[in-house]
Structure 1
């Protein structure tokens, strides 16, 4: 019996899928367990609580939303590249680069570095397009 192995690119898909959870954790950090009357996290109404946040917590929440938005193209690009028989080492490098860029994007977003964030987002989009066409012949 043979088993398919996860490529580095597939592991990167898993990591990218977990990044929104990391952003949510950042947005809620230090507020879970704190009384609601003192601004603590409201698990009964989390969306309303998040909507009231400001500064870096609000930006972490926005990074979470954008991380979810970036997932479909990345997942699709990796799957399509695999199906088209893309060069595995190139695919792995580009997928790893995308995850690295997403981490940098999240850091820039939370830190309030709008221009840097936008540039990193654009480079990440270009990497996704490159992944998508990697197997094109």
Structure 2
């Protein structure tokens, strides 16, 4: 059986798929060993626990939701670009830039820098549109 070689763009899809998990880990960090009665992480009802969080934990959870929301468009754009025969180096560079921007977006979100976060989100969205059309001829 032959396996297709993963391109850089496909590796970027994997990394982008892991970013929401990283956000969740940030939101829950430092709360696993703490008793529930003292506000520690509640694995029996994690969504309710996350909904009660504030400040950077709440923003990390919101970044998790946004990362899940942005993922389908990125996956679709990469697949479509590959199927359209996009120039591989261009596609790889754009996918890498997208992932870097999404990581920067998460950092800005958790830090509470909303204006910069929105600018980075807009840039990542524009890059994703670029990925979608990089194979257009």
Q: Which aligned runs of 4 or more in structure 1 are off by greater than 6 angstroms?
A: none
Aligned counterparts, 1:37-56, within 5 A: 37-56=37-56
| TM-aligned CA deviation for residue 3 of structure 1 | 3.2
Normalization by structure 2: what TM-score?
0.98
For 1:79 and 1:11, the matched residues in 2 are separated by 12
* 1:94 match: 94
* 1:106 match: 106
* 2:133 match: 133
Normalization by structure 1: what TM-score?
0.98
* 1:117 match: 117
1:10-53, Cα deviation, whole Å (9 max, x unpaired): 00000000000000000000001210011000000001000000
Please tell me whether residue 21 in structure 1 is matched to residue 21 in structure 2: yes
Ranges in structure 2 where 5+ consecutive residues have no aligned partner: none
Ranges in structure 1 where 5+ consecutive residues have no aligned partner: none
* 2:31 match: 31
User: What is the number of equivalent residue pairs in this alignment?
Assistant: 137
